[in-house]
Amino acid sequence: MSRQDIFQDALQRVREIGADAGVAPEVIAELMHPKAMLTATLPVRMDDGSTRYFVGYRCRYNTVLGPTKGGVRYHPQVTQAEVQALALWMTIKCAVVGLPYGGAKGGVNVQPKELSPLELERLSRAYVRAMADFIGPNIDIPAPDVYTNARIMGWMMDEYEAIHRVRAPGVITGKPIALGGSLGREEATGRGAYLVTMELIRRQGLDPKQLRVAVQGLGNAGYHVARLLQLEGMRIVALSDSRGGIHAEQGFDVDSIWKEKQSSRRVRAVYCAQSVCELVEHQQISNQELLGLDVDILIPAALEGVITPDNVDQVRAPYIIEVANGPILSDAESVLLERGTVIVPDVLANAGGVTVSYFEWVQNRSGYAWTLDEVRERLAEVMTRAFGEVWQVAADEERSLRSAAYARAFRRIGDAVGAHGTREYFQEGRQQD
């Protein structure tokens, strides 16, 4: 599927679920168009003295529920359509968990692994120079996403503050703790996914110790969810990064693999040349093979569009937790649902990240930092409540969890749209005059 199609696919899903859930056409119409999109060329001085030009995007999708919120990704496949799809999903995500935000997303088309740290800093500052009037603590608040991290957020905040000549920690979240970041933000996406997984297995009456899990993508989110599930006694039998994966039925120790990956920079290399390899008998597998493993829980935690009509028949896991944004295309999802696969959708499963981003923003605005326990407790409250609400809608209205989550989000957005007065309200008013 082309990157253009991913946005069309996302819109199609909104239309279908909206119609099926009886959502007012005004609300669906509101979600059919991004509010604003900024595309900018970012000139960056490279270490060898040459200048390279990168394309950067920021999409502010919808502001009905509040200022827009969403990450910035650095990836060679970033396109305008992808950023728009991701911004639409952020809009739905924030509404599902009840945050006072609309959705946004940003991206730069770049292979960040080819840049030196100084080039990366110049690129991040160039991005903010281009976006300086488009973002702001009460307008649009970026955060980390694929291949961006706390340090990059720190550079971006610094650039924004230099341009506007103010202190503005609330302009960005996922910052280093020393610069106003929140405790618990780094692990938040993974912890949120862990919390909903535990809710799911509790409701299904499953025993964590009997469950085998495969995680595609050992980035920040994939690592933390795998680590926390392992602590509950689940066996993490497969892991991968962009270059490939590993599989061992007895399960891996997630923390040792993560540590090795930090030094070797790739999951596969870890297993052959270095220590972890010696600890566990394992098999090297591709990312495609990982998706088809016979496991209880499959966790796609890398990029969108990895489960498609072409490979959906190979997917065997009865439970899928979408930690990546948009990993399952809608045509593939219908096949899975038909088969009875339970899918916890991205807009719920990975909402822990933006939830703690919200906590960070609240702490920045009040100038008072919370303890790690407070953050974790409130995150657990938000995720458990959201999961319970979505589960209930799914049961009451016989919907899939995605359809229930979307329906819930549309109703929240609909309430806000309706509070300004609906068509019926104004028509009635006219009749009374």
Residue 105 is among the residues annotated as catalytic for this protein: yes
**Cα–Cα distance for residue pair 260/270, rounded to 1 Å:** 6
Q: Near ligand GLU by CB under 6 A, which window of 52-60, 63-71, 235-243, 272-280?
A: 63-71
Contact indicator for 242, 218 with CB cutoff of 8 Å: no
Choose which of 34, 56, 70, 154 interacts with ligand GLU (CB under 6 A): 70
Beta strands in 63-161 (DSSP E): 68-69, 72-75, 102-109, 140-141
CB contact set of 320 (below 8 Å; sequence gap of 6+): 297, 298, 299, 300, 307, 328, 336, 341, 342, 343, 344
CB of 105 to ligand GLU, least distance (A): 8
Binding positions for ligand GLU, 250-279, rule CB under 6 A: none
Residue 230 touches ligand GLU, criterion: CB under 6 A: no
Contacts with ligand GLU, 114-143, as mask; x by CB under 6 A:
-----------------------------x
Torsions phi, psi for 366 (to 5 deg) = -90, -15
Q: Near ligand GLU by CB under 6 A, which window of 109-117, 351-359, 367-375, 378-386?
A: 351-359
**Cα–Cα distance for residue pair 167/164, rounded to 1 Å:** 8
Q: Given CA atoms 405, 73, 229, 270 in this order, what sign does their dihedral have?
A: positive
**Residue closer to ligand GLU, measured from CB, 23 or 94:** 94
Torsions phi, psi for 102 (to 5 deg) = -90, -175
Catalytic annotation, pick one of 35, 105, 175, 261: 105
Choose which of 34, 245, 353, 414 interacts with ligand GLU (CB under 6 A): 353
Binding positions for ligand GLU, 317-336, rule CB under 6 A: 325
**Residue closer to ligand GLU, measured from CB, 18 or 174:** 174
Give the residues across from 425 on adjacent strands: none
Contacts with ligand GLU: how many residues (CB under 6 A)?
Answer: 12
CB of 344 to ligand GLU, least distance (A): 15
Q: Given CA atoms 310, 3, 69, 62 in this order, what sign does their dihedral have?
A: negative
**Residue closer to ligand GLU, measured from CB, 143 or 157:** 143
**Cα–Cα distance for residue pair 261/270, rounded to 1 Å:** 6
Catalytic site residues?
105
Q: Which residues bind ligand GLU (CB under 6 A)?
A: 69-71, 143, 145, 173-174, 325, 350, 353-354, 357
